[in-house]
Amino acid sequence: MFAKRQSALAAAAGAAPSSKGLKLDLKPVVGWLKKPPVAVGAAGLLLLAAVALFMTVLGDPRAGAPSARVSLKREAPVEAPAPSGLEAFSMGGFAAWQGLSGDPMLDPSGAAGGEALITLPDGATVAGGSAIAAPRIEPRPLVAAPIAGLSQPGPQGPLPVIATDGRVPAQAYARPFQSNGKPRVSLIVGGLGLNAVTTRAAIERLPAEVTLSFVPYAEGLQGWIDLARAQGHEVMIEIPMEPTGYPNNDPGPYTLLANATPDDVEARMMWLLGRATGYFAVTNYLGDRFVTSDGAMSAFLGVLRQRGIAFLDDGQARRRPGAWARASADVIVDETQTPAAIIGRLNALEAAAKARGSALGTGFAYPVTVEAAARWTAGLDARGLQLAPASAMTQRAGR
């Protein structure tokens, strides 16, 4: 049986296939695939299949790349040494104090936005690492302005007047002073009211005997004057006067001009004097050309005399008598704005006071000036001098 079956398989091994089996016709499929939409779809499927096959076979193409793992140790940050009060206060010059956020009139701490205060070695503090909030000296307040009887309504605001009982603003708004017999030295710091940080630092860090001078264009001028008097400072208003090179060198609106008539001088004075109340005197801002005009200066000083206001100039108008009382500065302390130069000029002022019995200096509210003045005034008594308000340096004509 097995032999017969084997013989049959052997006989059929070399025979051609039988024509009766299944016959596959691919012509309809090929025709269907030749249609454009079908061809595009098929090509897309083929591409996806190829990508899938590639990822299946090869896996992550970066799987075979060499790798390493390193353990990093973060070092603790090294804190920089705290700057001295002088370094922090003068850091970056005047521009560093622009644009402080917050309302300086409503923030007694001096720190904007609730930022932390960093105490420096000399007791000053830095707010938020960028601005000084000088430690407050204990206030020794003056009488709040206005004092009854010393002002009258004006076209722009209250104007100073001599009271019916003879009281004058030059005395009523001045800081009281009692000499102790030592040589007297006074300092005026001006240009205040335009920059919140330096203005607050001058008010709070400088002794009450330092006289402060405010720019008439300052926003919130009366508030600044009230704050200064509450701390104990007597104050002045700066009067813009025509300088050489005007109008290219322009001190600002309502500048007193050298060729002005007495009426024009008085009209501009009414605007400037009406900006605030509580000042005992005015001072010049620039004005080297104005002070050479006999007519204009006479009209200016006449207005001050009639209203009981003193005039303290920066030294340019030394030979111009007038106003209710007069004084002229002996030294400008910060013509060069470096700590060494300013201290040198303050020392010269001190020497002049010892030589003559009294001396008056003036400076601008640069941060470095305020800082140097704060340090210089702190040791005056030990060096045999008495710090006096600038009003104590004024004299009336004929006295």
Q: Which domain holds residue 248?
A: 150-393
Averaged pLDDT for residues 60-72: 53
> Whole-model pTM?
0.69
Residue 68 has pLDDT above 60, yes or no: no
Does 85 map to a domain? no
Residue 21 has pLDDT above 70, yes or no: no
Summarize pLDDT for 304-323 with one digit per residue, the tens: 999 999 999 999 999 888 89
Lowest mean pLDDT among 68-72, 264-268, 296-300, 337-341: 68-72
Residue 390 has pLDDT above 90, yes or no: yes
Summarize pLDDT for 125-166 with one digit per residue, the tens: 433 333 444 567 999 999 999 999 999 999 889 999 999 999
Sign of CA pseudo-dihedral 215, 220, 224, 230: positive
Q: Please report, for the domain that includes residue 292, its CATH number.
A: 3.20.20.370
Question: Rounded distance, CA 132 to CA 110, Å?
Answer: 8
pLDDT score for 3: 41
Residue 65 has pLDDT above 70, yes or no: no
Does 377 map to a domain? yes
Does 73 map to a domain? no
Averaged pLDDT for residues 271-288: 97
pLDDT band (50, 70, 90) for residue 172: very high
SS (H, E, C) the chain: CHHHHHHHHHHHHCCCCCCCCCCCCCHHHHHHHCCHHHHHHHHHHHHHHHHHHHHHHHCCCCCCCCCCCCCCCCCCCCCCCCCCHHHHHHCCCHHHHCCCCCCCCCCCCCCHHHCCEEECCCCCEEECCCEEECCCCCCCCCCCCCCCCCEECCCCCCEECCCCCCCCHHHHCCCCCCCCCCCEEEEEEEEECCCHHHHHHHHHHCCCCCEEEECCCCCCHHHHHHHHHHHCCCEEEEEEECCCCCCCCCCCCCCECCCCCHHHHHHHHHHHHCCCCCCCEEEEEECCCHHHCHHHHHHHHHHHHHHCCEEEECCCCCCCCCCCCEEECCEECCCCCCHHHHHHHHHHHHHHHHHHCEEEEEEECCHHHHHHHHHHHHCCHHHCCEECCHHHHCECCCC
Name the more confident of 4 and 148: 148
Query: Cis omega (within 30 of 0) on the bond before 146?
Result: yes
Does 172 map to a domain? yes
CA-closest candidate to residue 191, choices 334, 386, 33: 334
Name the more confident of 73 and 105: 73
Does 298 map to a domain? yes
Name the more confident of 386 and 55: 386
Question: Rounded distance, CA 23 to CA 98, Å?
Answer: 96
Q: Where do the DSSP E strands lie in 150-210? A: 151-152, 159-160, 184-192
Residue the block writes with tokens 């309302």:
103
Q: Angle, nearest 10°, between helix axes 339-356 and 367-378?
A: 40
pLDDT score for 312: 98
Question: Rounded distance, CA 388 to CA 184, Å?
Answer: 6
Averaged pLDDT for residues 249-273: 97
pLDDT band (50, 70, 90) for residue 67: low
Q: Is 339 exposed, middle or buried (0-12, 13-18, 19+ CB in 10 A)?
A: middle
Question: Rounded distance, CA 232 to CA 214, Å?
Answer: 15
pLDDT band (50, 70, 90) for residue 326: very high
Name the more confident of 29 and 195: 195
Does 347 map to a domain? yes
Averaged pLDDT for residues 275-302: 97
pLDDT score for 58: 52
Does 369 map to a domain? yes
Name the more confident of 338 and 94: 338
pLDDT score for 307: 98
Read off the tokens for 186.
């006074």
Give the chain's mean pLDDT: 79
Number of domains within the chain: 1
Q: Which amino acid is present at 36?
A: P
CB 216 within 8 Å of CB 238: yes
CA-closest candidate to residue 86, choices 332, 342, 335: 342
Residue 369: helix, strand or coil by DSSP?
helix
pLDDT score for 56: 55
Read off the tokens for 66.
């060499």
CA dist 377 → 2, 327, 363, 388, 399 (Å): 133, 21, 14, 11, 29
pLDDT score for 132: 43
Does 233 map to a domain? yes
- For 22, other C-beta atoms within 10 Å of its C-beta total 4
Summarize pLDDT for 328-381 with one digit per residue, the tens: 999 999 999 999 999 999 999 999 999 999 999 999 999 999 999 999 999 999
pLDDT band (50, 70, 90) for residue 22: very low
CB 208 within 8 Å of CB 232: yes
Residue 119 has pLDDT above 90, yes or no: no
- For 352, other C-beta atoms within 10 Å of its C-beta total 18
pLDDT score for 155: 87
Question: Rounded distance, CA 21 to CA 188, Å?
Answer: 122
pLDDT score for 35: 63
Residue 192 has pLDDT above 80, yes or no: yes
Averaged pLDDT for residues 165-172: 98
Summarize pLDDT for 200-236 with one digit per residue, the tens: 999 999 999 999 999 999 999 999 999 999 999 999 9
